[in-house]
Amino acid sequence: MDRISWDQYFMAQSHLLSLRSTCPRLMVGATIVRDKRIIAGGYNGSVSGEAHCLDDGCMVVDNHCIRTIHAEINALLQCSKFGVPTEGSELYVTHFPCVHCSKSIIQAGIQRVYYAKEYKNDPYAEQIFQAAGVDLIAVELDEAILDRKYQDKLNLTVSLLKELEKTDVSEDVLQDLLQQTRSIYTKS
């Protein structure tokens, strides 16, 4: 089996972190990497000890949930709390950073930002990243790398559909199943 690339490895880590998010509005994960080592990680959640959006609901002001600290900031604060330099490091994040996080990312000396999904990309954020010489690189997570039985499942599904084709199942039902199979087994 092939080894996964560093980009996929760090991006998978950020997606794993996003599953710890406490705000249902958007689940974000961020990983800070230096010299191919993970130095910090974060997800969007409340200040330690405070209520979680998942339990008490979001606190929405001007269409933003103000209860949470964003994933990127939480990762940077972890570095600040434990005295870990971020100069020249790289960030892997599940969603394109908001303008506030973008400013902090630049100011912390992060050199490269890998993001999995475009998300309300702020033109000012893009402008200051460019001016600061921070590279922005889109890296989609290939979820198949996390599923070691991916190929077996695909092969089994294809053979099941072929067997089904031999029966008197209606063309509509078959097409619908083929469509669902494609959407599950194709990269999103």
Report the DSSP pairing between strands 60-61 and 64-65.
antiparallel
The 88-127 contact track toward Zn ion, x by CB under 5 A, reads ----------x--x--------------------------
Q: Does 53 bind Zn ion (CB under 5 A)?
A: yes
Answer for which of 16, 26, 38, 58 binds Zn ion (CB under 5 A) is 58
Residue 31 CB coordination number (10 Å): 27
For 63, residues 6+ apart whose C-beta sits below 8 A from its C-beta are none
Q: Which residue of the set 72, 126, 163, 171 is catalytic?
A: 72
Q: Which of 106, 117, 100 is nearest to 14 (CA)?
A: 117
The size of the interface with Zn ion (CB under 5 A), counted in residues, is: 8
Does residue number 136 form part of the binding site for Zn ion (CB under 5 A)?
A: no
By rule CB under 5 A, what string of x and - marks binding of each residue 64-93 to Zn ion?
Answer: -x-x--x-----------------------
Closest CA to 33 of 2, 3, 4, 11: 11
Residue 69 parent element (H or E):
strand 68-69
Q: What tokens were used for 7?
A: 């980009």
**Contact with Zn ion (CB under 5 A): which of 12, 23, 105, 141?**
23
Catalytic, 140? Answer: no
Total residues belonging to the chain: 188
Catalytic annotation, residues? 72
Query: Using CB under 5 A as the criterion, which residues of the chain lie in contact with Zn ion when the complex forms?
Result: 23, 53, 58, 65, 67, 70, 98, 101
